[in-house]
Amino acid sequence: MALGKNNPAIYLLYAFAAATVLAMSATTIVLALLLILCIKDLYQGTIRKEDFKKDSLLYVALFSWKGFTRALATSVRDIPKIKGVWDRVPYIVIGFYKVHREAVIRICDILFVANTLIILYALGQHFLGIPAIYRPLFFENGNRISGYFGHPNQYGGCISIIFIMNICLALYQNKRFFYYSPFLLAGLVFSGSRSYLLGVIVSFLVLLALARSFKMILKYLVIAALVIAVIAFTVPWFSQRIADSFSLEKNMYRLNIWKTSWSVFLEHPGVGVGSGMLPGYLEPSKKEGLIDNTAHAHNMYLHELAENGVPGFILVIGTQIYFLVKYFKLQRRTSEPLLKAFSLGVALSLLNLLVAGIFEYSFGAAIIALNINFLMGVLEGYRLTGPAVPGSQLTDDPPGSAR
């Protein structure tokens, strides 16, 4: 049975894209429906078992190790408490469906429009006093947008991904996507996240290096300098946050968290203290006033070392680097504009998260992991239509297609 325009799968992908700006419960509902549909389609043979992404077994290995460390630290009954499994499901499920060009572009438009509307609504709440629906979009009446995610850093991680995707699609696919860029950049700035801003800057520098055109590099460096100047002039509190990054006094809490996390790792280098168990080891430092929170190590690398030991660190970071290299290679091999833009956007988004991981537990934030795996799944679905093959035509009605 061919999946045409009226198939529920494509509407669920559109719904998922729209739901990514809402509380995670919205994407959870859509993903659950998509998973049920995928199981039904596999049973009926409308999608192929052969299209299962074998590299998703890296996730299986990763979470098996996390389950093992959790069981050692507590009991086997606690294995279901490990976090992050659900956030990787979009990559596996969506990757079974052939997502055609028109659908991919529509998904991108939905992502950009939805995020732009949320940013405008948030700024309207903050500056114009527009009433909040469900909850305020600025964090605890401060200067930072948290969206519907509850914390500005989680929002910053998500909007940084969307902004990078937007720039790549505008450069390689269609310049009309630049219309969204100022609003998405405003969202990133008002998230106040220095970590994800750094990740975006590094990704932007890599993008310039790939251009291999001195004229283009000079052009975009000038634009970037102007943007930075405008931000510094119009959002002084954000400029102060950047300046505080270089203050030892302002970063003492974070340095103490790093020190404690490193000590925990040195005491348990083999298997760590168990997945999800680090906060308990940070609690004494909080009681002494050395740190201000125990949620995570404020460093993805130290966090994984402390909780899951060296093997867990290799599995977690190695998996992300694998996907980063995979999609960088893909964008180099293809000349098809949409595939090149999308794969480059996903690769740079992964790079962004790895850079931000120096200061945040980026891949450990459920909504961030869910968003990047959604994009990876859509990319894999698009690859199934054959755009990377020279001379191939995008067919309209193969089994398992979503348009």
Please report, for residues 36, 105, 247, the alpha-carbon distance to residue 102 in angstroms, rounded to integers and kept in the order given. 24, 5, 49
pTM: 0.92
For residue 53, give the 3-state DSSP assignment: coil
Q: What is the pLDDT of residue 399?
A: 44
Would residue 120 count as lying in a domain? yes
Nearest to 28 by CA among 51, 12, 11: 12
Q: What are the backbone dihedrals phi and psi of residue 399, each rounded to the nearest 5 degrees, phi first?
A: -60, 140
| Residue 4: count of CB within 10 angstroms of its CB | 12
Question: Could you give the residue ranges of the DSSP H alpha helices within 45-139?
Answer: 57-73, 89-94, 101-123
Tell me how far apart the alpha carbons of residues 235 and 229 are, in angstroms, rounded to a whole number: 10
Q: Residue 387 belongs to what domain range?
A: 8-58+83-249+336-351+360-402
Tell me how far apart the alpha carbons of residues 131 and 216 are, in angstroms, rounded to a whole number: 43
Would residue 307 count as lying in a domain? no
Q: What is the pLDDT of residue 395?
A: 35
Would residue 315 count as lying in a domain? no
In the predicted model, residues of the chain with pLDDT beneath 70 are: 1-6, 141, 213-214, 388-403
Neighbour-count burial of 311, counting CB atoms closer than 10 A to its CB (0-12 exposed, 13-18 middle, 19+ buried): middle
Q: How many structural domains are present in the chain?
A: 1
Q: What is the pLDDT of residue 4?
A: 47
8 A C-beta contact, residue 276 and residue 83: yes
Is the CA virtual torsion 154, 159, 165, 171 positive or negative?
negative
| Phi-psi sector, 192: left (phi>0), alpha (psi -120 to 50), beta | left
Q: What is the pLDDT of residue 397?
A: 39
Would residue 326 count as lying in a domain? no
Q: What is the pLDDT of residue 394?
A: 35
Please report, for residues 121, 126, 402, the alpha-carbon distance to residue 138 in angstroms, rounded to integers and kept in the order given. 10, 7, 37
Nearest to 69 by CA among 58, 59, 81, 57: 81
8 A C-beta contact, residue 89 and residue 373: yes
Nearest to 335 by CA among 388, 384, 378, 393: 388
Would residue 292 count as lying in a domain? no
Q: Amino acid identity of 22? A: L
Q: Cα–Cα–Cα angle for 280, 283, 66, nearest 5°?
A: 25
DSSP state of 128: I
Would residue 187 count as lying in a domain? yes
Q: What is the pLDDT of residue 85?
A: 95
8 A C-beta contact, residue 102 and residue 10: no
8 A C-beta contact, residue 387 and residue 334: yes
Would residue 344 count as lying in a domain? yes
Question: Could you give the residue ranges of the DSSP H alpha helices within 236-299?
Answer: 236-244, 252-267, 278-287
Would residue 2 count as lying in a domain? no
